[in-house]
Amino acid sequence: MIIFPIFSCSVTDSDNSNETGTVEISIDLSDTNVKSIGLSSLKTSEVVIKSVVISMTKKDGTVVYDKESISLLNMNGYYIASPISLNVGEYALTEFLVMDDSNNVVYVAPLAGSEKAYLVKTPLSINFEVKKDEVLKLVPEVVSVGNSIPSDFGYSTISFDVVPHFDFSLSAFIYNSTIQNWELSTATILIENEGNVLYDGNIGAITNVISIRDDVSTYNMTIAKPGYKTYIYSFSHDSLQYYKINDNNEPLKIILVNDSEEPIPAHEYITVEGGTFQMGDENGIGQSDELPIHTVTVSSFQVSKYEVTQAQFIGFLNDIKCNSDGSYVDSEYGNVTYINMDESFCPLSIVDGKFDFKGSINVPTIECPAIGITWYGANAYCKWAGGRLPYEAEWEFAARGGNLSDGYKYSGSNIYDDVAWNQYNSEEYAHPVGKKLANELGIYDMSGNVWEWCADWYDVYDVDSQTNPIGAISGDNRVGRGAGYLSNDLSCRVANRHDNNPDNLITYRGHGIRIVKSIN
């Protein structure tokens, strides 16, 4: 037998509060072959005993100890602690477990009626009486746990599932039009999956870290702030995991858009009187496709004063009932895509079956130019608005200032920061149209902000003089002009040319729209 003394404690009994006795608990190690094992067996065991867990009740069922853990001291293989001091009365020892240094149960006293109760002479519970000033020794028999489970000994179990999760980082931004820059914002956030709430709380004006379960395929996120449109987006498992904090990626950046409902502005047009100009790189600093310089004459036309805005393009998509993925059966080109709704930088979303502006870190406001538009989307928009895309020669003539041209390198100035949102001043996002200086004709943003599609197929220049050229009759790529908010000074020149696949779906470096109307 081994004495397992327990820290001294008194259990108050209102009837006999001043009369106590002492209980010393020792154990009898038993197994299927040997009913009682002496002290030396436990002493030489490789198991390191650290504590016992006991449950004890009074005769009337009042709980005295409920799985109370009692630490033991090891002295050369013998275990000691203080005896238990109890008020006089009748008690029952109902549970008894012996724990090792890893907090695992290594020996257990079986309960009466359990599958393993037959292994001991006296299964629990053991009834005993504490008498005044007497020491009572209790000797529960215990058996090795082995490969058994708690229910084998009559003990109840608790089952649980370990839910996998991951931490991702998120920040909400609003656009401060006064300082024309972003600022962090507070908001509420709700994340659901198939109607089950995965997370519901607040986010601060900081980079927030959110723990979310890792065993679902989609995360439906709703972020709300008074005075701003509610952000609603469904992230796939992999797309949200991209923002895990231990993957060294930037936080998920949510753009909250002002909720003011304003009418979609009509297009304003500038009349460009017909004229003749030298088309190409007159400064000798461009690329080979800007040569040879050649004489071009264009007839009068009208061109939109500003690039087409997000609000205007959204109005178009909703009016034609474009498919929610941005595709459409075009009357001229068949089944094509106008805008890639799945692209990560796309500033649009679908709300109640309609296209809406949700913003992105690259497109902060609905007054910014439409961007990430395919050539087919730009062509269709211009026809819907009663115009067409400009031919490349028309575009360059207008960008140079037409007949009022002062010969600037950029559209309206020789200092491109004055007229162009570019890689040095844009802070890597598009800006509302018309915020830089206009050119000689009063046209804005023909250098920088977003690239603009032209109607032409991309081709090399002809040295011969031309009148109203419309480009090659076929090709692989369409012409883009004007450069964007990530462009350098060479790209923002009025002579610079760019070719791109008409299906180009990239918002980050994407194309926008400027409308032309023929006067005749």
CATH of the domain at 445: 3.90.1580.10
pLDDT band at 44 (very low <50, low <70, confident <90, very high): very low
Kindly state whether residue 158 falls inside one of the protein's structural domains. no
Kindly state whether residue 6 falls inside one of the protein's structural domains. no
Distance (Å, whole) CA 11 – CA 20: 9
**Of 100, 133, 153, at which residue does a domain stop?**
153
Q: Please say whether the beta carbons of 485 and 449 come within 8 A.
A: yes
As a whole number, the mean pLDDT across the chain is 87
Closest CA to 207 of 172, 240, 183: 172
The percentage of the chain sitting over the pLDDT mark of 90, rounded to a whole number, equals: 59
The pLDDT value recorded for residue 359 is: 86
Residues 218 and 176 placed together within one structural domain of the fold = yes
Tokens for 314? Answer: 């959204």
Q: Give the count of domains, the chain.
A: 3
Kindly state whether residue 14 falls inside one of the protein's structural domains. no
Q: Identify the CATH number of the domain in which residue 52 sits.
A: 2.60.40.3540
216-223 mean pLDDT: 94
Tokens for 29? Answer: 């190690």
pLDDT tens figures, 131-158: 988 888 888 888 888 888 899 999 887 7
Residues 57 and 134 placed together within one structural domain of the fold = yes
Query: What is the DSSP pairing of strand 78-80 with strand 135-138?
Result: unpaired
The pLDDT value recorded for residue 246 is: 79
Kindly state whether residue 15 falls inside one of the protein's structural domains. no
Residues 297 and 318 placed together within one structural domain of the fold = yes
Residues 276 and 326 placed together within one structural domain of the fold = yes
Does pLDDT of 113 surpass 90?
yes
Taking CA atoms, 280 is separated from 293, 409, 514, in Å, by 5, 11, 21
The pLDDT value recorded for residue 9 is: 34
pLDDT tens figures, 1-26: 333 333 333 334 444 456 877 777 66
Kindly state whether residue 180 falls inside one of the protein's structural domains. yes
Does pLDDT of 292 surpass 70?
yes
Q: Which residues pair with 190 in a beta bridge?
A: 200, 222
Contacts of 325 (CB under 8 A, 6+ apart): 337, 341, 342
Distance (Å, whole) CA 29 – CA 453: 88
pLDDT band at 40 (very low <50, low <70, confident <90, very high): very low
Residues 487 and 390 placed together within one structural domain of the fold = yes
Place of tokens 């995360």: 219
Kind and range of the H or E run holding 372: none
Burial of 61 (0-12, 13-18, 19+ CB in 10 A): exposed
Closest CA to 183 of 420, 427, 487: 427
Residues 348 and 470 placed together within one structural domain of the fold = yes
Distance (Å, whole) CA 208 – CA 373: 32
pLDDT tens figures, 389-428: 999 999 999 999 999 999 999 999 999 999 999 999 999 9
Taking CA atoms, 316 is separated from 309, 358, 467, in Å, by 11, 16, 33
Residues 315 and 419 placed together within one structural domain of the fold = yes
Does pLDDT of 212 surpass 50?
yes
Residues 141 and 73 placed together within one structural domain of the fold = yes
Kindly state whether residue 346 falls inside one of the protein's structural domains. yes
Residues making up the chain, counted from first to last: 520
More confident residue, 509 or 292: 292
Q: Identify the CATH number of the domain in which residue 203 sits.
A: 2.60.40.10
Distance (Å, whole) CA 126 – CA 513: 88
Supply the DSSP string of 161-226, one letter for each residue: ----EEEEEEEEEEEETTTTEEEEE-EEEEEEETTEEEEEEEE-SS-EEEEEESS-SEEEEEEE-T
Query: What is the DSSP pairing of strand 511-512 with strand 451-457?
Result: parallel
97-104 mean pLDDT: 89
The pLDDT value recorded for residue 503 is: 87
Kindly state whether residue 10 falls inside one of the protein's structural domains. no
Phi-psi region of 483 (alpha: psi -120 to 50; beta: other; left: phi over 0): left
Kindly state whether residue 7 falls inside one of the protein's structural domains. no
**Of 153, 176, 205, at which residue does a domain stop?**
153
The pLDDT value recorded for residue 15 is: 47
Residues 179 and 62 placed together within one structural domain of the fold = no
Residues 321 and 433 placed together within one structural domain of the fold = yes
**Of 255, 277, 301, at which residue does a domain stop?**
255
Residues 246 and 313 placed together within one structural domain of the fold = no
Q: Among the listed ranges 261-265, 317-321, 446-450, 460-464, which one has the minimum average pLDDT value?
A: 261-265
Alpha-helical (H) ranges within 267-309 are: none
Q: Where in the sequence is the domain holding 233, given as residue range(s)?
A: 165-255
Residues 173 and 127 placed together within one structural domain of the fold = no
More confident residue, 263 or 489: 489
Tokens for 325? Answer: 């993925």
251-272 mean pLDDT: 85
Amino acid of residue 480: G
